[in-house]
Chain A
Amino acid sequence: MFLFSFPDAMNLTQTTILLAFAFLAVFAESALSGFRTFLGAQPDLLPALMVYAALCLDIWTVTALAVLGGVGFDTLSANPLGASILPLLLVGILIFARRDLILRSLPFAQCVLGGAASAIVPVLTLVLLLNEGSQPLLGWGSLWQWLVMIVVGAAVTPGLFVFFEWCNQALGYPPAKEFSFRPDREILRDRNK
């Protein structure tokens, strides 16, 4: 007996695209240091991606993004392995559980959720690190870094929605068109009638 249902093929394509994007995002965060040089902080795209996954995709994708994105991030960072999974998952589940009440198509809502997720994830990760006994580099400058992460996360999230919508249209099945002609409503005209 299955306790859960597997995602269908269409969702699998979307999940694959999202996870591939997350993989590239984590790589870009470690390979490109333009933001760090000019603003003193490196933004994180994983919370914004989690907002999209939680609002538009299934719980499988939310979980896969939290696990694979978190492990990828921790591998390239000095974080203990697994430290980024729980904060991402928590944010994803919270949004997923309330997504029917969220106006997900509004850019303003996407913006607010992206900013909130980008604010919550680093704080939860730091709480986890401090609780685990690590000594992360913290100070007044961390507030500025946090602000940069929130602003960039909020600004990027609506763009991610547009990008993934475009990807879905380009790679997914076209929506079935409804014709005005319906064979069951056809009025047959005949001389014999």
Chain B
Amino acid sequence: MFKQKNYFVPGLAVLVAVLLLSLPSGSAMRIRWVVGSWFLPLFGFASASQHIPADLADIALPRRELLREIHSLRQQNDQLKIRAFQADALEQENGQLRALLHWQSQAPWHLKAATVVMRDPANWWRTVQIDLGSRDGLRENLPVLTPDGLAGRISWVGMNSSQVLLLGDPNCRVSAQVMDPPGDVGILGVGGPLDSSLLDLNYLPGDAGLKPGQNVVTSGLGGVFPRGIPIGKIADSQTLEYGLTTQARVKLNVDLGALDHVFVLFP
């Protein structure tokens, strides 16, 4: 059935597999960098080819349409400038009030834009890779956001790319607070393998009077995510363990299945 001399080659492969599985995380990371770099030209090609339809559409777009769009964007820009002035004034006022009350001032957020270049090919993880790495100053556990809210955190950093653990991955737990009014804190856990938009919020008190539509934000506990990043809204809730705890389902603000661009938050 199977010649004895043929056992040597698969045996060698088994040895390689066992060695790889037992490697310390630093060495495994280095191998990941090396093997991951083989895919970089393909990702570059894929991202360049993604822009081709948009470029072709731009060529085909009439000049009048473009001028109209520029005019609309200028108006939007002016409105945003006015809002930024207001925000600056409010920030100053907030700083003065905090100084009067001797409260600790909040550090401003520094964001860096990144593009999602790939998704996890395995169905049992919820991760993406972005095109920023250690040379851009990224490090592990930095929060990743979109304009709609929290998306996840950095789990490992390569030189040119990094892996982001998305909300709902078993390794990405977030301490979350229910708002309107600010109150109970729970742990945002995993969701179902198919639906990435609904996650469980566990370990809320048994008497938490939750209502659908209440906002959920990061609590700031745990030391990874700063306080106040929007996560989603309460969809429904149920009491568990004879009324000792409440479990709620949170509808995420961010569509994790359609992530294209994200922001890495440097606190």
Residues of A within 8 A of B (CB): 3-5, 23-24, 26-27, 29-31, 33, 36-37, 40-42, 44, 59-60, 62-63, 66-67, 70-73, 75-83, 85-86, 89, 93, 96-98, 122, 125-126, 129, 132, 135-142, 144-145, 149
Interface size on B, residues (CB 8 A): 53
| Residues of B participating in the A interface, judged by any CB pair closer than 8 Å | 1-2, 5-6, 8-10, 12-14, 16-21, 23, 28, 31-32, 35-36, 38-39, 42-43, 46, 117-127, 129, 155, 163, 165, 168-171, 190, 192-195, 257-258
Across chains A and B, the number of contacting residue pairs, with CB separation under 8 Å, is 160
Provide the main secondary structure of the chain A interface. Answer: helix
Tell whether, in the assembled complex, residue B194 and residue A137 are in contact, meaning their CB atoms are under 8 Å apart: no
Report Cα–Cα, A27/B43, bound state, in Å.
8
Flag if B122 contacts A82 (CB, 8 Å). Answer: no
User: B120 to chain A: which residues have CB within 8 Å?
Assistant: 30, 76-78
> Are A137 and B9 in contact (CB-based, < 8 A)?
no
A5 proximity list for chain B (CB < 8 A): 5
Residues of A contacting B21 in the complex (Cβ-Cβ under 8 angstroms) = 80-83, 132
Q: Which of B8, B13, B121 has the most CB of A within 10 A?
A: B121
Asked if B118 and A76 sit within 8 Å, CB to CB, the answer is: yes
Complex A-B: 15 CB contacts under 8 Å? A4-B5, A26-B39, A30-B129, A31-B43, A60-B9, A76-B36, A78-B120, A78-B122, A80-B21, A81-B23, A81-B31, A86-B17, A93-B10, A97-B1, A139-B193
CB distance from B243 to the nearest CB of A (A): 25
Known: A75-B36, A97-B1. A89 touches B10 (CB 8 A): yes
